[in-house]
Amino acid sequence: LEGLSQSHFYKNYLTLEHLRTNYTTRVTFTPSPISVASGIFSSDIPKLDRPPVPKSDDKLHEAVKHHPVIKKYGTQKRGVTAYVLTQEEMIKNHFPVKGVRGFDDFSCTKNNVHVTDDSPLYGLDCEMCLTEKGHELTRVSLVDSDGNCVLDELVKPQGRVLNYLTKFSGITAAMLQPITTTLRVVQAKLRMLLPGDAVLVGHSLNNDLIALKLIHQHVIDTSLLYQKEFGQKFKLKVLAEIVLKRQIQTDENNGHNPTEDAEAALELAQYFIKTGPHQVVELHLEELWGYKPKEESSECSPAPAPSHRFTDILRTIGRSVTYLGKRADVALDLSNQQWYSTDKEVLSSFRRQTKNLFLSIVQFSSFSDHLRRLSAHQELLYQSVCSDLRDMCVVFAGPFPPDFSDREVRRLFRCCGRVRNIRMLNTSVRIHAEVAFEMLEGALLALKVLDGLRVLGQPIKVQRPVKESMLDLDLYLDTLLVDSLNSKHLYAVKPSQQMAQNVNISQKVNQYVLESKGPSATSRKLTNGLPPAKKKCKQPHLTTLKLSEETVREAFDHFGSVESIVLPSKRPKHVRIGE
């Protein structure tokens, strides 16, 4: 929202539960003061915020590169939401959609919750017979994400049965004779069983939902996932046999088993999502699609360096994006821009959108003009945000012994991170210091590690400044630590051996015991409140290593895969690690 800053975002952060949980990617940047939309698209993404960019498709075989599955979904693994049909796709493939003619008397499930990549998948399959009213439901099966059958019901058709279609449905007159369960009862059971964010999975699922007279907004259709040329579709039996190595719908079964079919469709979707479209096509190209790629011997020129502009990264990872507003100089393809002369037309067009785009930027010219007239207010807001951020990086410490200098304070606190500034606070009785770190993580570490440290026999206290901006800061930071953007990131420092031996660091971290190789690791004493500046002794292995990307990766790789390492200076003593 234009005009809302990071200050607004973090002041209301604790109340933005859905924003924190439903979106796994947030990108922070400073937009252009002239055009917010242009600033968004043309800004370079900071290294820590960049999503993983897929490798170039230049070396793909032609057969794979132009395969219908690759053309539709790209080559990269993506989550559940990438394969959920849009409303436009549902209408095109004849799914029941609310508000579309012909589905007025259909019942709707309660799936009004935003779907995420963690939303549960449910497999659905139905069997029908032919009655005076057409094809009517006779049996329905529903399986959960683990393949457990949660519903398997026979249903009594409303019309007189003309053909039980036993060869396909497995239904006979004897099976339906005692059944009293109606379509309405089954609809009610499905509404009760399906959570709000459930994604229904099936093969040609539109036919099942029409038979159920049920509208469900979030669906994945395996007949559309495993695409063939010219809109042709594979039979579920063929996909199960080739992909899952399983026999279904065999002659011995006397018709289809909807529970078996629902489970097969579910597993096909799960396999596709987990494996990714590129691997699915390569693994089954010859057996399923019937052709083998030819070996290509032509040498490829080296790929150009990838662009880190926001708009280029979105295009590279296959995300749909659009701009709606007045004609403007926006760093975006013209095909992705929609120009309108009035704000009313902009809003009306946005509301008419049927496809769920990854990113839509809507710019109302009247509001933008109003904000430009408030440039002085924007500058004050910016200064306020900067002031709050500076306060977060500041700690107060003391009391220190008499004649304690700012240089000695810097030596003491730099073990937690780079110190930007030291201000000594001298009174007639005691000495305190205001320590400003360059990064918030340094201040947090100082509060945890140095508070209570004994300097020349007396403990010092380390605390935050007492200001309005610091109210509830601990609560905010605790929530931010478990935020999806931060939960896999670490801030690590490399203190000197002498400092590591004297600060209050627990010997057990995350269930791992820290091993010290020094002969007297815990018996060293502080000199003038600090470890000795120079002393020859045997150094532990880690403290003798230069802090580099290689040494950090080597130290942390055995905890899990390290995705990124950021060293903030040429001679770093701290590092950011992303897993």
Give the global pTM. Answer: 0.48
Give the rounded distance of the alpha carbon of 369 from its chain centre: 34
Q: What is residue 222's predicted lDDT score, i.e. its pLDDT?
A: 96
**Helix (H) and strand (E) counts in the chain:** 24, 22
Give percent above pLDDT 90 in the chain: 32
Mean pLDDT of the region 95-111 = 90
Of 332, 306, 304, 308, the residue nearest 320 (C-alpha): 332
Residue 337 or residue 198, greater confidence? 198
Per-residue CA distances from 512 to 507, 509, 515 (Å): 8, 5, 9
Residue 189 phi, psi (nearest 5): -65, -40
Model confidence at 532: pLDDT above 50: no
* Cα dihedral 93, 99, 101, 107 sign: positive
Query: What one-character-per-residue DSSP string does 274-330 give?
Result: HH-HHHHHHHHHHHHH---PPP--PPPPPPPPPP-BHHHHHHHTT--EEEEESS---
Q: What is the mean pLDDT of the chain?
A: 79
| Residues 461, 446: Cα–Cα separation, whole Å | 10
Q: What b/e sequence results for 68-102 when a residue is b if at least 16 CB atoms lie within 10 Å of its CB, and e otherwise? A: bbbeebbbbbbebbbbbbebeebeebebbbeeeee
Mean pLDDT of the region 142-153 = 95
Instruction: Kindly report which listed range (62-66, 71-75, 457-461, 574-578) carries the lowest average pLDDT score.
Output: 574-578
| Residues 515, 21: Cα–Cα separation, whole Å | 38
Give percent above pLDDT 70 in the chain: 73
Instruction: Kindly report which listed range (409-418, 439-448, 503-512) carries the lowest average pLDDT score.
Output: 503-512
Ordered by where they begin, the domains of the chain are: 6-53+306-372 (no CATH), 84-275 (3.30.420.10), 393-578 (3.30.70.330)
pLDDT tens digit string along 13-34? 677 767 666 665 666 666 565 6
Q: What is residue 148's predicted lDDT score, i.e. its pLDDT?
A: 95
Model confidence at 520: pLDDT above 60: no
Instruction: Kindly report which listed range (436-440, 519-523, 554-558) carries the lowest average pLDDT score.
Output: 519-523
pLDDT tens digit string along 339-387? 888 888 888 888 877 566 778 888 887 766 666 666 666 667 667 777 7
pLDDT tens digit string along 45-96? 766 555 555 554 445 566 677 788 988 888 888 999 999 999 889 999 999 9
Q: What is residue 489's predicted lDDT score, i.e. its pLDDT?
A: 78
Model confidence at 507: pLDDT above 70: no
| Residues 520, 131: Cα–Cα separation, whole Å | 89
Q: Residues with Cβ < 8 Å from 3, sequence gap 6 or more?
A: 367, 371
Beta strands 199-202 and 219-221: pairing type? Answer: parallel
Model confidence at 543: pLDDT above 60: no
Model confidence at 167: pLDDT above 70: yes
Q: Computed over its alpha carbons, how large is the radius of gyration of the chain?
A: 31
| Residues 55, 300: Cα–Cα separation, whole Å | 14
- Please name the helix (run of DSSP H) or strand (run of DSSP E) that holds residue 462, with its range, or none: strand 461-463
Model confidence at 392: pLDDT above 60: yes
Half-sphere exposure in the Cβ direction for 503 (13 Å, CA): 21
